[in-house]
Amino acid sequence: VSRRHPKDQANSPSSDVACGQPVLQGK
- Residues near other proteins (CB under 8 A) are 1-4, 6-15, 17-24, 26
Report, in Å, the least distance between residue 2 CB and other proteins: 8
Residue 27, classed as helix, strand or coil, is: coil
Distance of closest approach, residue 16 Cβ to other proteins, in angstroms: 10
Maximum Cα–Cα distance across the chain: 38
Alpha-carbon span 13 to 10, nearest angstrom: 9
